[in-house]
């Protein structure tokens, strides 16, 4: 795919329409705030105006970002053709010698770049918004889906069995309402009760341990806290039968949880 894109870049002389398109995308996505500045005139990010970069380099960096830097990977945020247009535009800036960019960098009436924040089907969109809803004690402070959220447990994209049943793809999907009540009622075999030498006791998930220390997620409140103890300070770790999901999902109504289930099922199964 990259090779193909490179080939295309090499073959096509930069057409004015492509550059103009790249200019708009750049203005919306790359010049903003503390990044590359208007028309690449420098910001928090490096100046691009009046500098020569190879298009291969620009393409790689724009697509994949620069590790250990503020330069993000734009693949997934911009379409391939949009990234290529930006590359053509940045390449066209190499001959710009005027330090002052155009007076009006973005023509009026140009809207923001269309970067959908959720690309799934509409029926899953509501649950997606609820899962990540920053305004409440939300699912994503303990769970991740598709790499988003804080995964102290497994990414829920992989929870096919729970969402579909024991034999995936052959059995009908479980009823959303039934799953919702399960979310409320179920505990988890992974949740432990940690007892410390100090007498403190709390529901915990085991994060990691070695010969000298134990790391536990303290589940007393959200967000969970990863706490590190010397082994001798942890008296016992036993299965916690009392822990229930219910105490942590009370920010959601039953019907909202059903929406969340619809979203999770789509994320895990594609339907």
Partner 1 sequence: MIRGLAGAGLLAAALFAQDGSTRNDWPHYGGERSAWRYSALDQINRTNVGRLKAAWAFQTGKVDGGFNATPLVVDGIMYVSSSWNRVFAIDAETGKEIWHYFYQNPREIGIIYSPWTRGVAVGAGRVFFGTLDNNVVALDQKTGREQWRVNVEDMRQCGCNITGAPLLVKDKVIVGVTGGDSAHRGYLTAFDVNTGRKAWRFWTIPGPGEQGHDTWAGDSWKHGGGATWLTGSYDPDLNLVYWGVGNAAADFYGDARKGTNLYTDSIIALDADTGKLKWYYQEVPHDVWDFDAAYECVLFDAPVNGAPRKLLLNVNKGGYAFVVDRTNGEFISAWPVAENINWIKGVDSKGNLIGRNEPPVGKTFITCPSIGGGRQWNHGSYSPRTKWFYTTGIEWCQAVTVTPEEPKAGLNFFGGVFQLRPPMHGPAGGHLDAYDPVTGKKFWSYPSKYPLLASQLSTAGDLVFTGDPEGNFFALDAVTGKKLWNFPTGSGHRGSAISYSVKGKQYVATPSGWGSALAGLLPQLWPETEDFPPGSTLFVFALPEER
Q: Of residues 92-151, which lie at the interface with partner 1 (CB under 8 A)? A: 99-101, 103-106, 108-112, 115, 117, 132, 134-135, 140-141, 144, 147-150
What's the half-sphere exposure (Cβ side, CA atoms, 13 Å) at 225? 8
CA distance 75 to 265: 25
CA distance 69 to 235: 43
Instruction: Pick between residue 1 and residue 100 the one whose CB is nearest to partner 1.
Output: 100
Pairing relation of β-strands 213-218 and 225-230?
antiparallel
CA distance 202 to 123: 38
Provide, rounded to whole angstroms, the least separation between the CB of residue 146 and partner 1: 11
Q: For residues 197-228, b (16+ Cβ closer than 10 Å) or e, as one string?
A: eeeeebbbbeeeeeeeebebbebeeeebeebe
Provide, rounded to whole angstroms, the least separation between the CB of residue 95 and partner 1: 18
Provide, rounded to whole angstroms, the least separation between the CB of residue 12 and partner 1: 28
Draw the binding track, 42-81, toward partner 1 (x: CB under 8 A; -: no contact): xxxx-x-----------------xxxxxxxxx---x----
Provide, rounded to whole angstroms, the least separation between the CB of residue 219 and partner 1: 10
CA distance 38 to 118: 28
Provide, rounded to whole angstroms, the least separation between the CB of residue 37 and partner 1: 6
Q: Of residues 185-214, which lie at the interface with partner 1 (CB under 8 A)? A: none
Element (H, E) at 205: strand 201-209
Provide, rounded to whole angstroms, the least separation between the CB of residue 90 and partner 1: 16
Name residue, tokens 């619809």: 262
Q: Of residues 5-34, which lie at the interface with partner 1 (CB under 8 A)? A: 27-28, 31-34
Draw the binding track, 151-190, toward partner 1 (x: CB under 8 A; -: no contact): ----------------------------------------
CA distance 132 to 141: 8
241 lies in the site for partner 1, by CB under 8 A: no
Count of chain residues binding partner 1 (CB under 8 A): 59
Of residues 271, 260, 249, 269, the one with CA closest to residue 158: 269
Name residue, tokens 């594609």: 270
Length of the chain: 271
Instruction: Pick between residue 174 and residue 229 the one whose CB is nearest to partner 1.
Output: 229
Provide, rounded to whole angstroms, the least separation between the CB of residue 213 and partner 1: 9
Instruction: Pick between residue 121 and residue 223 the one whose CB is nearest to partner 1.
Output: 223
CA distance 159 to 145: 10
Instruction: Pick between residue 109 and residue 172 the one whose CB is nearest to partner 1.
Output: 109
Binding site for partner 1 (CB under 8 A): 27-28, 31-35, 37-38, 41-45, 47, 65-73, 77, 99-101, 103-106, 108-112, 115, 117, 132, 134-135, 140-141, 144, 147-150, 218, 220-228
């Amino acid at each position: 795919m990259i090779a193909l894109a490179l080939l295309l870049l090499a073959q096509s002389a930069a057409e004015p329409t492509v550059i103009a398109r790249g200019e708009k995308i750049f203005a919306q996505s790359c010049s903003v705030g503390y990044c590359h500045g208007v028309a690449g005139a420098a910001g928090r990010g490096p100046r691009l105006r009046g500098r020569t970069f190879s298009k291969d380099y620009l393409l790689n960096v724009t697509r994949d970002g620069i590790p250990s830097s503020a330069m993000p990977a734009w693949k997934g945020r911009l379409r391939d053709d949009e990234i290529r247009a930006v590359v053509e535009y940045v390449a066209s800036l190499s001959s710009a010698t005027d330090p002052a960019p155009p007076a009006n960098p973005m023509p009026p009436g140009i809207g923001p770049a269309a970067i959908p924040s959720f690309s799934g089907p509409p029926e899953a969109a509501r649950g997606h918004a609820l899962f990540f809803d920053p305004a409440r004690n939300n699912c994503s402070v303990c769970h991740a889906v598709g790499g988003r959220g804080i995964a102290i447990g497994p990414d829920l994209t992989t929870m096919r069995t729970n969402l579909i049943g024991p034999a995936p793809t052959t059995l009908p999907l479980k009823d959303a309402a039934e799953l919702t009540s399960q979310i409320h009622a179920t505990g988890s075999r992974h949740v432990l009760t940690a007892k410390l030498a100090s007498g403190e006791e709390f529901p915990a998930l085991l994060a990691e341990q070695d010969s000298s220390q134990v790391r536990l997620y303290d589940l007393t409140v959200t967000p969970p806290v990863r706490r590190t103890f010397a082994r001798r300070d942890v008296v016992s770790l036993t299965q916690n039968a009392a822990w229930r999901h219910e105490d942590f999902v009370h920010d959601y109504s039953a019907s909202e949880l059903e929406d969340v289930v619809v979203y999770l099922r789509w994320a895990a199964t594609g339907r």
